[in-house]
Structure formats: C-alpha cells, structure tokens
C-alpha cells in the first residue's frame, strides 16, 4: 500500500492539557459573560482562537535561544536575522519590531499621510487601523469571488487588477504604495498566485508606485503556489519565496505566524530611502535598530524559524493538517469558506444556525456551542467583530458571519483535529434545536469583540 503522509517531526516535550466537563464549561462561560476571550487558557482543551504566537518552536530554535546574544547595539543575533531575511527575500535592509502591527506603525509613520489611498487585497484589521489612524483610506481591491464561501478557486485571495488599475489611473499621486497580503488572512487564509504578484508589479511599474507585502503567512502562500500553480511543482519553497519577493519593494512581517516564534516582527526592504525614513520611527517606538523591541535570543530563534519553515517538510506538515480537518468537515457536510486556506477553517454560521436571526449573532452562538460541546475554542469573525456603523450606530450585518478555527503550528495532533470535527458535527446535527442566540449587554465603541459582555436569550 501507499505509505501515508505523516508529520515531519517527533515530539520532544509536551504540555499536559486538562479536559473539563460540560457542567464546568457552562459555569466558566457564564463567568466569562459568554465571551470566549474571557476564558482562562486552562479552561480550554483545544485552543483554536488564533495561530498567532501559539506554535511550538523546534529543538534548533531552542538551541538558538541559548546562543543568541543580548547586546543593545550590534547584536550578533540581529545580524544572523538580517542575513537570513536577506538570503530568503533579497532585501538588504531590515528593521526588527516587537510584532507585525509595530512594523506597520514604523513603516507607515514614514510612508502614509492624511488623504493618501492604499489599495490592497482585504487589508488586515491592524493594517487598516494604521492607515485610517493617519486619515488615509484602505481601498479594498480583492477579487469579488472571495466573498462567495462556496466557490472553489485555487487563488481566492488575489488582487483584482482591474480595480487596482482604476485606482491608480484616478489617484496615482495619492498612492504611496500598494499592499498585497500573502496569504489573504481576512478572506480566509486564501493564497495569491505568482501570476497575480507579477501583474500587480507591472501595474505598479506603469504608474511609478511601490509594493509592500504584508507577509505574516508568506510560506503558506509559497506552498500553495508550489502545489497549485503551473510551472512551480519542481521549485523549492525557498526559490518560490525568492521569486515572490522579487516583485515587492518591501515587507511588513508578523513573525508570530510563519516565523515560527511566539513574539516578533520586522520590516525589510530593498530601498535605502524607505529604510532611512522608517529608521527614525523605530528608535522612539520600538528600540535601537539592532533589536527593535525583540530580545537577542528571540531574533536568533526567529532566524532559525524562518529557515526551517521555508523547507518543504515543515510547511507541508502544517498545511496537510489543516486540509485533514477540512476533509472531515466535508465528510460531515459542514459548510466553510472553500477551498480551505493555510491556517484556519472558517465555518459559515449563517448556513448552519439558520433559525437564529442576525440580531442574535449566529456565529457567536455557534462558537459558544462548540466550546460547550468539547472545550474547543474558536473565534467569531462575524457581526460582533464588525462593530457598529460609526455614523448610524447600527450593527453592521452586511458581511459574512463566520466562526474561525485556527490551527496552531506543530502543537496539536490529528486526533485533536478529529475532536474539533466531532464537536462541530454534534452541534451541526442538532442545529435545528438551537433556536435562540445571544444579546449584547455591554460593549465598547471600537473592537468590541474582545471585551463584549453577552447574555443567552432564553425566550
Ligand atoms: C497577524 C497579522 C498582522 C499583525 O501582526 P501582529 O504580530 O499580530 O501585530 C498583520 N497582518 C496580517 C495579515 C496578520 O495576519
């Protein structure tokens, strides 16, 4: 028989997990005001809230933690990190930051001014926040197909070149750069093809503007190019990464994702003027240029993590686990954003809890039910997260109402994936009995989902 696919690692250290009873979970959830962000991590059996900073480091990374140095200026670990990033991307200039949003803050402080327009493919929320905070506009140019959860496309996170070209034709002088997010997190971890990156480059060149890649999951994107795009099957992940960045002028990175570390970020670019400009903001916001908010040992572990994750065995193990979970959901008929992306499953709650009106937040209700079922914590990416309209103060019900289950890197086994799938199946099978949702009893004006207090509606 064919030898089945299995993980390209063995487990050397474990963190025991506590299982709980449904009764305990009922009480904990009530104490947390039916907000999953309010739970303590010990109250969760399998934590799928995020894949950010939640992965496991390798023995090589832990060894680098010991050999990293803690110099304020001229840290050896910084130069290891700079060398690795340069080798992988071709970018000469590197500024470390404490995480991805800090990289955005430092670079955008130099590049974005009031009245600017930054086109891109579904800007991540902190990216959009840093643009709007500077009174500029984040213009979404994602392909329309990304909004239809049931449509199967190999590269569903792409930039719509017609939309992008229109923006440049009309406002080129107001556009300091284009931002391309690889993979497109907001659209469900969906990849962008090499062809699309090349086309965006051609448009940028035509109008004389530059391109930043928001790079949190750049390795997952490279894996999808290798497995889905013609001409790349025989290329290594590192070759694909190198080609991807040949079409960019710079990058912002959240190392908590494809850097395989628990905290960190950076900016990298080929342009001295961007480096010189951004440098001025690194020092007051983050720290001196050779640590920028990171410990030396953490930069050393990041250098190893970037190298390790751009090896096929590592990234293949990661993506295949996410696809394993998706295949279980297919078997059970549970609707999610298709095809599954690189880091998470996004279950389409509006197609599951059809009895629950929008006003009672179906995705949040589904996330609560899955936690009660098996101690699995997902995250509502729906109407609560969408906040209220800043002018009318009405809830925004225009977008999708999803529950996201992120898979932490190298942390859970496929048995855990079976538990997540079974919990979803049990809730799915009794979906018609779930007739009432939740109501908001307390909320903040912006980003309310983190702290919102809810009550279950019981008639
Ligand atoms: C996580 C993320 C960020 C922000 O990074 P942090 O490290 O959380 O600050 C930016 N863009 C994308 C696409 C991300 O996924």
Active site residue 69: no
Nearest residue (by CA) to ligand 1, atom 11, is 124
Q: Identify whether the C-beta of residue 181 lies closer than 8 Å to the C-beta of residue 122.
A: yes
Q: Within 6 Å (CB) of ligand 1, which residues are found?
A: 52, 99-101, 124, 126-127, 181, 185, 214, 216, 254, 256-257, 265
Is 207's pLDDT higher than 80? yes
Q: Where residue 286 falls among pLDDT bands split at 50, 70, 90?
A: very high
Which residue among 226, 257, 328, 343 is the active-site one? 257
72 is catalytic: yes
Q: Tell me which of 116, 160, 214, 307 is the catalytic residue.
A: 214
The residues, ordered by sequence, that sit 6+ positions from 266 with a Cβ below 8 Å of its Cβ are: 81, 85, 94, 95, 96, 97, 103, 252, 253, 255, 292
The dihedrals phi and psi of 50, each to the nearest 5 degrees, come to -155, 160
Q: Can you name the residues that pair with 46 across neighbouring β-strands?
A: 376
The reported pLDDT for the residue numbered 446 is 81
Q: Is 281 a catalytic residue?
A: no
* Averaged pLDDT score across all residues of the chain: 96
Ligand 1, residue 102: give the atom nearest the CA: 9
Identify whether 78 is a catalytic site residue.
no
* Torsion from C-alpha of 373, 21, 379, 37, nearest 10 degrees: 150
Contact 110, 285 (CB under 8 A): no
CA dist., res. 147 & res. 159, Å (int): 13
d(CA 76, CA 97) in angstroms, rounded, equals: 16
* Res. 64: pLDDT tops 80: yes
* Catalytic position from the list 69, 125, 199, 387: 125
Do 138 and 300 meet the contact criterion of CB atoms below 8 Å apart? no
Q: Whose CA is nearest to atom 5 of ligand 1?
A: 100
Is pLDDT above 90 for 445?
Answer: no
Clarify whether 156 is annotated catalytic.
Answer: no
* Ligand 1 atom index nearest CA of 215: 13
Mean pLDDT along residues 106-125: 96
Tally Cβ neighbours within 10 Å of residue 359.
13
* Annotation says 330 is catalytic: no
Q: How confident is the model at residue 14 (pLDDT cuts 50, 70, 90)?
A: very high
**Nearest in space to 264 (alpha carbons), one of 100, 129, 146, 422:** 100
Percent of the chain predicted with pLDDT > 90: 95
- For 376-430, what is each residue's pLDDT tens digit? 999 999 999 988 988 899 999 988 899 999 999 999 999 999 999 999 999 999 9
List, in order, residues 6 or more apart from 397 with CB less than 8 Å away.
358, 383, 386
Q: Could you report the per-residue pLDDT of 208-237, keeping only the tens digit for each?
A: 999 999 999 999 999 999 999 999 999 999
Q: Note the pLDDT of residue 389.
A: 86
The full length of the chain comes to 459
* pLDDT higher than 80, residue 71: yes
pTM, entire model = 0.96
216 is catalytic: yes
Task: For 257, list phi and psi in degrees, rounded to 5.
Answer: -100, -100
- Per-residue pLDDT band for 186 (boundaries 50, 70, 90) equals confident
Mean pLDDT for 116-126 is 94
State which ligand 1 atom lies nearest to the alpha carbon of 256.
7
Q: What is the rounded average pLDDT of the residues 306-333?
A: 98
% of residues, the chain, pLDDT over 70: 100
459 has a pLDDT exceeding 90: no
Ligand 1 atom with the smallest distance to the CA of 264 is 7
Residue 56 predicted with pLDDT over 90: yes
Q: Residue 153 and residue 144: Cα distance in Å, rounded?
A: 12
């Amino acid at each position: 028989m064919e030898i089945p696919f299995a993980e390209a690692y063995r487990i050397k250290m474990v963190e025991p997990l506590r299982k709980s009873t449904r009764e305990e979970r009922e009480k904990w959830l009530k104490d947390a005001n039916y907000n999953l962000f309010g739970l303590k991590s010990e109250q969760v059996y399998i934590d799928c809230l995020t894949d950010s900073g939640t992965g496991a480091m390798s023995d090589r990374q832990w060894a680098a933690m010991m050999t990293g140095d803690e110099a304020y200026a001229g840290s050896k670990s910084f130069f290891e990190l700079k060398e690795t990033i340069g080798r992988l991307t071709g970018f000469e200039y590197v500024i470390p930051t404490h995480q991805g949003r800090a990289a955005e803050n430092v670079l955008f402080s130099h590049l974005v001014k009031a009245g600017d327009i930054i086109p891109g493919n579904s800007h991540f929320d902190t990216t959009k926040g840093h643009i709007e905070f500077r009174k500029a506009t984040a213009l979404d140019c994602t392909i329309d197909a990304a909004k239809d959860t049931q449509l199967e496309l190999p590269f569903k996170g792409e930039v719509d070149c017609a939309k992008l070209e229109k923006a440049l034709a009309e406002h080129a002088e107001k556009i300091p750069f284009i931002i391309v997010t690889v993979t497109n997190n907001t659209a469900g971890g969906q990849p962008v093809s090499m062809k699309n990156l090349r086309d965006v480059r051609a448009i940028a060149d035509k109008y004389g503007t530059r391109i930043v890649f928001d790079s949190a999951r750049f390795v997952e994107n490279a894996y999808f190019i290798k497995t889905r795009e013609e001409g790349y099957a025989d290329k290594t992940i590192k070759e694909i990464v190198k080609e991807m960045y040949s079409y960019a002028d710079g990058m912002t990175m959240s190392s908590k994702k494809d850097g395989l570390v628990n905290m960190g970020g950076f900016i990298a670019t080929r342009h001295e003027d961007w480096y010189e400009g951004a440098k001025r903001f690194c020092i007051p916001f983050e720290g001196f240029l050779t640590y920028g908010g990171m410990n030396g040992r953490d930069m050393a572990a990041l250098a190893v993590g970037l190298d390790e994750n751009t090896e096929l065995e590592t990234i293949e193990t990661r993506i295949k686990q996410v696809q394993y979970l998706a295949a279980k959901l297919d078997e059970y008929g549970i609707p999610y954003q298709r095809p599954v992306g690189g880091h998470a499953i996004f279950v389409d709650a509006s197609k599951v809890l059809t009895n629950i009106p929008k006003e009672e937040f179906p995705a949040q209700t589904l996330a609560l039910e899955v936690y009660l079922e098996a101690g699995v914590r997902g995250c509502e990416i729906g109407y609560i997260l969408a906040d209220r309209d800043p002018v009318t103060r009405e809830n925004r019900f225009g977008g999708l109402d999803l529950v996201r289950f992120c898979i932490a890197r190298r942390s859970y086994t496929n048995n855990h994936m079976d538990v997540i799938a079974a919990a979803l199946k049990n809730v799915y099978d009794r979906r018609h009995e779930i007739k009432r949702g939740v109501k908001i009893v307390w909320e903040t004006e912006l980003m309310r989902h983190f702290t919102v207090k809810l009550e279950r509606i019981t008639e």
